[in-house]
Amino acid sequence: MMPTKVAVLIMRGICKRWALKDCGSKVRKAMLAICACFGILPVAGARAEAKDGDVELGAYLSAECVTCHQVNAQTEEIPQIAGLDPNAFMAAMQAYKAKQREHPIMQMMAGRLNDEEIVALAAYFSTLE
Amino acid sequence: MTWNRRKFLGAATGALSAPAVLAEGSGKPRVVVVGGGAGGGTVARYIAKDSDGAIDVTLIEPSQVYFSCFFSNLYIGGLKSIDEIGHTYGALAANYGINVIHDWAVAVDRVDKNVTLAGGQVLPYDKLILSPGIDFIEGSVPGWDLSVQTKMPHAYEAGSQSQLLRAQIENMPEGGVYAMVAPPNPYRCPPGPYERISMVAHVLKATNPTAKIVIADPKPKFSKMALFEDGWATHYPGLIDWIGEDFGGGDVSVDPDQMMLTIDGEEMAVDVCNVIPAMKAGRIAELAGVTDGRWAPVNSADMSSKTDPDVYVLGDACQQGDMPKSGFSANSQAKVCANAVRGSLTGSRIFPPRYANTCWSLIAVNDGVKVGATYEATEEKIARVDGFVSQVGEDANLRKTTYEESENWYAAITADMFH
Amino acid sequence: MATGVKTRVKLPKQVRAGEVVTIKTLITHRMESGHRLDSDNQPIPRSIIHRFLCEFEGELVIDLDIGPGISTNPFFEFQALVPGPGVFTFIWFDDDGAIYTDSRAISVMS
Ligand SMILES: Cc1cc2nc3c(=O)[nH]c(=O)nc-3n(C[C@H](O)[C@H](O)[C@H](O)COP(=O)(O)OP(=O)(O)OC[C@H]3O[C@@H](n4cnc5c(N)ncnc54)[C@H](O)[C@@H]3O)c2cc1C
């Protein structure tokens, strides 16, 4: 008779490859597809302009940006806000949203901005010196 | 009372503009903010800045200089000076007319709506915002209490505690032992203790390579664990011994007089003992009667207390749901709160809440990692929506960029709080 | 030889005869998978703990083959039935030929 027996075996942090994989990858893919659709629209279609944006909404939303981006101070890795070209800004946000442009934080932050909000931000930023 | 442009606009267009509350005296609605840290600094600044003087904002903070916990580990690692993590309140007063009072709030009367300061002053409020950070739970580490914090520092409130810990590490005997008693969940800055270990290892590797680091941890795993373990194995092989819950890391007591640490019944002599006890909301939240257990529950829509709609609790002290207790979170919550408070006092537009967090940690010089997420307000809590985390095995250039990014973030967020 | 290797074992010191105990082991080890590249794009040679063994008084309790997908500092938790007093021996085998051992005596209540 076996004097000892193995009953349970648990290994923690089992697999590096699993850890690397994003558990939400399905959700991610779906989001990507959705974002890509919407992302193309404003560029190809009606062409939203910064001047049409809701400046007050933009000011509120911009509070999220200035946690990392200073308005008037350029730092090594994180660009400043003042002086951004509104169209370049809107295109950049759409590109992050569609995950065509790399950067995990920017993809995440832009990922939840809708088109109205992106235009609002552009509108607000163009009021800054 | 003068109607400024923004307020007029707000009142005209706001969907649900509440009537402005008028306090006696100045004729303006009054907001009192307790605690001039990550949450308090931000909320005072945003309310004052965005209301263009229509709201009377008072900030109560005992210290003349706020030493941020964020980047205090880099100070311990010798990568930042103490001045680089110190911030004063002059700009908040000068630029936005905030009334900064250097004193302790000692009592809150929620019926008569006023706050009493240690100096005896009584300040009436229409809206009270508490962002007092954390206090430690008595008895959570047997043998340790606040009276021995100069022998066994926590350095979990920055400033003199950080300076003391750094000096102790620099003065360790050759081959000595640095021990950390890590805190149980939930606590301020989940990766904080492990970033600290990295920075202590960085110092010891250069100055005292035969020294040892021991961590007694009541948790079975911790924030960014795979990244830290991988980084420690790369940069500091053999230096760090992490004893988690599975190996008795939660069964700890200390003897400050003898400089002894007992882990799981085994006693060891230590040269530095960095005790980070269990935490709860800063005491004033409890005195105000807005806590339930250790923390102050808040509504996810505007950070108002679940006990009192005219009291708001921000940052580490609140219990909101999924956001980690970080400076970034406190700053994010403060902006949502500022918008809601201003709206309810002046009728300005109230926008839907949106929250985010990113925490950078430094494992070694130029080896930075990050974790971040966005959050939304649900009925029940602030709930995580989307997020990312650095990966094990990323290339060195990306890690260096991540570190540089964190320095830029520090400059921006402290400006967003104090300038 | 891999540097900084340290083993850790936790199990009760005393049990009743025939009782099932939980044993936890951990070895502080880099576990270099062999799949990674260094800064010059050269593969970093594999260096892992590839086998872990636990015996009780010469009887096998558990014998594990471990692959390169296992993360840094492998942790194993398993249960064993203790028939009487004796010594558990734990052995970790390193790719580089090193063998790390640890042991724990367990007594039985009368
Ligand atoms: C080692 C370490 C590293 C960290 N690193 C990071 C990081 O990299 N990124 C990040 O985002 N976060 C980090 N944090 C977390 C961050 O410091 C806190 O989450 C943040 O400071 C919380 O903000 P707060 O406003 O709630 O509290 P605090 O910033 O602590 O501010 C509270 C203020 O209230 C004052 N106060 C308390 N009681 C009273 C009273 N009764 N009357 C008047 N004033 C009072 C205190 O003096 C204090 O100034 C770190 C924390 C630590 C300990």
Task: Provide the pLDDT for residue C90.
Answer: 97
Assess whether B233 and B313 both reside in one domain: no
pLDDT tens-place values along chain A, 129 residues long: 343 433 333 443 333 333 333 333 343 344 334 434 444 333 433 467 888 899 999 999 999 999 999 998 888 889 999 888 999 999 999 999 999 999 999 999 999 999 999 999 999 999 987
Least confident residue range of A10-19, B246-255, B311-320: A10-19
Assess whether A54 and A113 both reside in one domain: yes
Q: Is residue A44 part of a domain?
A: no
The SS3 assignment for C102 reads strand
Q: Does A102 touch chain B (CB under 8 A)?
A: no
Assess whether A82 and A60 both reside in one domain: yes
CA B341 to centroid of ligand 1, rounded, Å: 22
Task: Provide the pLDDT for residue B246.
Answer: 94
CA B157 to centroid of ligand 1, rounded, Å: 7
B13 or B143, greater pLDDT: B143
CATH number for the domain harbouring residue A118: 1.10.760.10
Q: What's the pLDDT tens digit per position in B260-279?
A: 999 999 999 999 999 999 99
Containing structural domain, residue B169: 139-275
Pocket of ligand 1 (CB under 6 A): B 34-40, 60-63, 66, 69-70, 72-73, 104-105, 131-133, 156, 188-189, 192, 196, 282, 284, 315-317, 325-328, 330, 359-360
Domain closes at, from B256, B275, B294: B275
Q: Which residues of C touch B (CB under 8 A)?
A: 3-6, 8, 10, 24, 26, 28-30, 36, 39, 71-73, 75, 77
Task: Provide the pLDDT for residue B145.
Answer: 97
Task: Provide the pLDDT for residue B13.
Answer: 35
> How big is the A-B interface in CB pairs under 8 Å?
91
Give how many domains chain A has, as a whole number: 2
Tokens of residue B417, six digits: 């709080």
Percent of chain C with pLDDT over 70: 97
Q: How confident is the model at residue C2 (pLDDT cuts 50, 70, 90)?
A: low
CA B235 to centroid of ligand 1, rounded, Å: 29
Q: Is residue A112 part of a domain?
A: yes
Q: Is residue C97 part of a domain?
A: yes
Task: Provide the pLDDT for residue B25.
Answer: 57
Residue type, B292: D
Assess whether A9 and A65 both reside in one domain: no
Assess whether B242 and B361 both reside in one domain: no
Per the document, the length of chain A is 129
Task: Provide the pLDDT for residue A52.
Answer: 87
Nearest-CA neighbor of B214 among B176, B174, B184, B185?
Answer: B176
Q: Does B226 touch chain A (CB under 8 A)?
A: yes
Give how many domains chain B has, as a whole number: 2
Assess whether A27 and A58 both reside in one domain: no
Give how many domains chain C has, as a whole number: 1
Task: Provide the pLDDT for residue A32.
Answer: 39
Assess whether A68 and A7 both reside in one domain: no
**Measured between CA atoms, how close is B224 to chain C, in angstroms?**
13
Q: What's the pLDDT tens digit per position in A12-32?
A: 333 333 333 333 334 334 433
Q: Is residue C58 part of a domain?
A: no
Domain closes at, from B230, B249, B275: B275
CATH number for the domain harbouring residue C83: 2.60.40.10
What is the rounded average pLDDT for all residues in chain B?
A: 94
Q: What's the pLDDT tens digit per position in B336-394?
A: 999 999 999 999 999 999 999 999 999 999 999 999 999 999 999 999 999 999 999 89
Containing structural domain, residue A14: 3-37
Q: Would you say C80 and C23 are in contact if contact means Cβ atoms under 8 Å apart?
A: yes
Assess whether A62 and A116 both reside in one domain: yes
Domain closes at, from B255, B275, B295: B275
Tokens of residue A106, six digits: 């920017």
Q: Is residue A76 part of a domain?
A: yes
| Cβ–Cβ below 8 Å for B332 and A67 | yes
Q: Is residue C88 part of a domain?
A: yes
Assess whether B197 and B294 both reside in one domain: no
Q: Would you say B215 and B178 are in contact if contact means Cβ atoms under 8 Å apart?
A: no
In this predicted structure, the answer to whether residue B142 has a pLDDT above a threshold of 70 is yes
Q: Max alpha carbon distance in chain A (Å)?
A: 84
Assess whether A30 and A54 both reside in one domain: no
Task: Provide the pLDDT for residue B407.
Answer: 96
Tell whether the torsion through CA atoms of C58, C59, C61 and C64 is positive or negative.
positive
Cβ contacts (< 8 Å) between C6 and chain B: which residues?
Answer: 238, 241
In this predicted structure, the answer to whether residue B9 has a pLDDT above a threshold of 90 is no
Q: Is residue A43 part of a domain?
A: no
CATH number for the domain harbouring residue B78: 3.50.50.60
Tokens of residue B6, six digits: 């923004």
Containing structural domain, residue C79: 6-34+45-53+65-109
